[in-house]
Amino acid sequence: MDKNKYALIMAGGVGSRFWPVSRTEFPKQFIDFFGIGKTLIQSTYERFLKICPPENIFIVTNEIYTNLVKEQLAGISEQQILAEPMMRNTAPCIAYGSMKIAEINPNAVIVVAPSDHTIANQAAFIEAIEQSIASASKHNCLITLGIKPNRPDTGYGYIQYIDEVLADNSEVHKVKTFTEKPNLELARSFLQSGDFLWNAGIFIWSAKAINRAFEKHLPDMHELFAAGKAIYNTLNEKQFISNTYLQCTNISIDFGIMEKAENVYVLPSEFGWSDLGTWASIYEMAEKDYVGNAVIPSEQVMMYDSSNCMVNVPKEKLVILQNLHDYIIVESNNTLLICPRAEEQNVKNIVADVKAKFGGKFI
């Protein structure tokens, strides 16, 4: 296996849209939503074991989740866990990971991926990654994977591409624009145009190319992390990062670099991708009965005259539901959430209300 291949898995989010199952102390990336015996981060890690040597897989997460990472990923060393002292969005964590990896191997090609996505077609995913790694290792370019859309979804960002391609790969296209989550009318026009893709938030680039991009487009951030070149992978790294994050701006890699850089390319892909951002996405991926109910686990859940519901409850609970249609029913740690699927976007507001009323007790 190529020793120049690296993975940086981002696992620092709190997943508030999946409350009450996902909570601050135990967020969604560490949960087995589908009852398959693997959490989301475990599935992601295993996926990358087919691409990179195990010692080349790094996990960037909030420092409060360090022990969870160690518990769930057997074989991960302390040195492979990049503990962030505070949340600062994706640009700082990628700057940190890229600088750290570059000091280990200046010839590294890095795949950056979230820990909470699902991939139905593993072989197609690996093929897309390998294809992108090959191109990124030859060219000074930043590659992202774009998912071919099958509906006008307003929950995803979009990438528009043009006919210009890399010299040695006619499938990797030059990016024209990035668009944040559009309204429905705009999403429909994107779908009809045929040259827009969903932004999967999966990136492939050489350590040299991404560090040059930081130097050009986020020079202040680059300077902060570059100051630690002699400190990365030493006992002083943790203290250096604590001080550095205090000075970092809160900015995404999309806004900070990808939307500004001129050497951004996209590989249109199809591998059964879902970002699992909402209970609706869990519902779409889960197995359903003949009336559209997705029940995880299903051993002690009894449903009468009910359809198109998403039910996620502890397996030891006996739950009986009658005459419910298009609802989300979720229970965890003695906290029950019942809401219409059409109003799921209000879950974040519900969490804020619960926090205001009860403090952090249920969050």
| Residue ranges of E strands in the chain | 5-10, 57-62, 81-84, 109-114, 118-119, 142-147, 158-166, 169-179, 196-206, 264-269, 273-274, 294-296, 301-304, 310-312, 319-322, 327-332, 335-340
Question: What is residue 358's predicted lDDT score, i.e. its pLDDT?
Answer: 83
SS3 at position 262? coil
- The number of angstroms, rounded, from the C-alpha of 122 to the middle of its chain's C-alpha atoms is 16
| Type of residue at 286 | A
Residue 189 has pLDDT above 90, yes or no: yes
Does the pLDDT at position 361 exceed 80?
A: no
State pLDDT tens for residues 94-139. 999 999 999 999 999 999 999 999 999 999 999 999 999 999 999 9
Nearest to 297 by CA among 308, 286, 306, 305: 286
pTM: 0.93
Dig out the tokens for 74 from the structure: 């057997």
| pLDDT value for 351 | 82
Q: What is the pLDDT of residues 216-226, one digit of tens each?
A: 999 999 999 99
Instruction: Decide if 91 contacts 257 (C-beta within 8 A).
Output: yes
323-353 per-position pLDDT tens digit: 999 999 999 888 999 999 888 878 878 888 8
Would you state the pLDDT for residue 363? 77
- Mean pLDDT to the nearest integer, 194-211: 96
Task: Give the number of other CB atoms < 10 A from CB of residue 2.
Answer: 13
Q: What's the confidence (pLDDT) of residue 352?
A: 83
Q: What confidence score (pLDDT) does residue 155 get? A: 83
Query: How far is Cα 168 from Cα 286, in angstroms, rounded to an integer?
Result: 39
Rounded alpha-carbon distances, angstroms, from residue 298 to 122, 309, 315, 318, 333:
26, 13, 7, 10, 18
Q: Which of 243, 228, 261 is nearest to 102 (CA)?
A: 228
Q: 20-77: per-residue pLDDT in tens?
A: 888 888 999 999 988 889 999 999 999 999 999 999 999 999 999 999 999 999 889 9
Asked whether the predicted pLDDT for residue 1 surpasses 90, the reply is no
Dihedral sign, Cα of residue 138, residue 268, residue 162, residue 281? negative
Average pLDDT, whole number, for the chain?
93
